[in-house]
Structure 1
C-alpha cells in the first residue's frame, strides 16, 4: 500500500502539479496586491468612491429597519481586472513561449528527418518510359525500314475461290 502511494507521489506529473499550485498561489498574491494597490485606487478616484468595494448604485435607500439595496459593481470590477491580469500574464509568459518552443522543435525535427531517397515516378513518367522502351525495341527489330508490313502473328488466311 505504501509502495503504491510512493509511486504516485514521486511520479513526475504530481510534482509538476504541486510546483504549479505553489507558484500559482504566489502569483495570485502578487496580482491581488497589484489590483488592490494600484488599480483599485485609480478606479476609486474615477468614480469618486471611498473604496472600490463600496462603489455601486443605490437602488433603494435604507428605511428604518430595512437595509439599503446597493448594486455593488466595484468588487466585481476588481475581480474582473484581477482575472484579466492573470490571464494576460499566463498567456504572454507561459503559453506564447511554449508555442514558440514547440514550433522551433517541430521544424528542427522535420529538418533532421532524412528526405525520401527518390520519389517514386508518377504514372505518366512510367508510361513514357514504357513507350520509349517499346519504341526502341520495335526500331531494333525493324532494322532500317521505318514502316515494315504489319504482322499480327495470326496464320495467313487462304483465299476462298
Structure 2
C-alpha cells in the first residue's frame, strides 16, 4: 500500500496539481491586491466614495438610525444586506476581468513561442517515412495468429 501511494505521489499529474495549487494561491494574492489596492480606489474616486457594503434593509427588529451594518446586526436586527451582495458581485466581475486579461496575455505569449518553434522547425514531429517505418517494424514484431 505504501508503494502504491508513493507511485501515486510520484506521478507527474499529482506534482503538476500541487504546483498549480501553490501558484494559484500566490496568484490569488496578486489579483486581490490589484483589485483592492489599484482598481477599487479608482472606482471609489469615480463613484464619489460610494461603499455599497453598508447598505441594508431591516427585516425584523430595530436598528439605530444611521447605524452601520455591523451595528444593526449587533443590535439584534435581522437585515437584508443587499449592499454586501452588490459589493461581492462587483468584486467578482472585476477579478474575473483581471484574470481574463492575464490569461489572454499568457496565451499570446504561448502563441508567440509556438510560432517561433514552427518557424525554427523545432516543433515538427517525425517525418511520414519515419512513422511508416515504425509501423512496419511493429507489425513485423507482432506474433502471427
Task: Classify the TM-score, shorter chain.
Answer: 0.5 to 0.7
Q: Hey, what does 2:65 align to over in structure 1?
A: none
Q: Say which of 94, 97, 105 aligns to 1:92.
A: 105
Deviations 1:59-110 (A, max 9, x none): x5788626565542233112211121122112312x2333343444456244
Q: Secondary structure at the match of 1:44?
A: helix
Query: So what's the TM-score if we normalise by structure 1?
Result: 0.53
Structure 1 unaligned blocks of 5 or more: 116-161
User: Greater RCO between the two (CA within 8 Å, min separation 6)?
Assistant: 2
Q: Hey, what does 2:53 align to over in structure 1?
A: 53
Name whichever structure is richer in helix by fraction: 2
Query: So what's the TM-score if we normalise by structure 2?
Result: 0.58
Distance 1:11 1:64 in 2: 58
Structure 2 unaligned blocks of 5 or more: 63-76, 130-145
Deviations 1:36-62 (A, max 9, x none): 1121122122222354634x6x6x578
Matches within 5 A, 1:6-155: 6-49=6-49, 51=51, 53-54=53-54, 65=62, 69=80, 71-72=82-83, 73-93=86-106, 95-106=107-118, 108=121, 109-110=123-124, 113=127
Gap change, CA 1:4 and 1:61, over 3 Å in 2: closer
Gap change, CA 1:52 and 1:96, over 3 Å in 2: farther
Larger Rg: 1
CA contact (8 A) 1:31 1:82 kept: yes
Q: CA deviation at 1:31?
A: 1.0
Q: Hey, what does 1:5 align to over in structure 2?
A: 5
Q: How many residues align?
A: 111
- Say what the alpha-carbon RMSD is for the aligned residues: 3.3
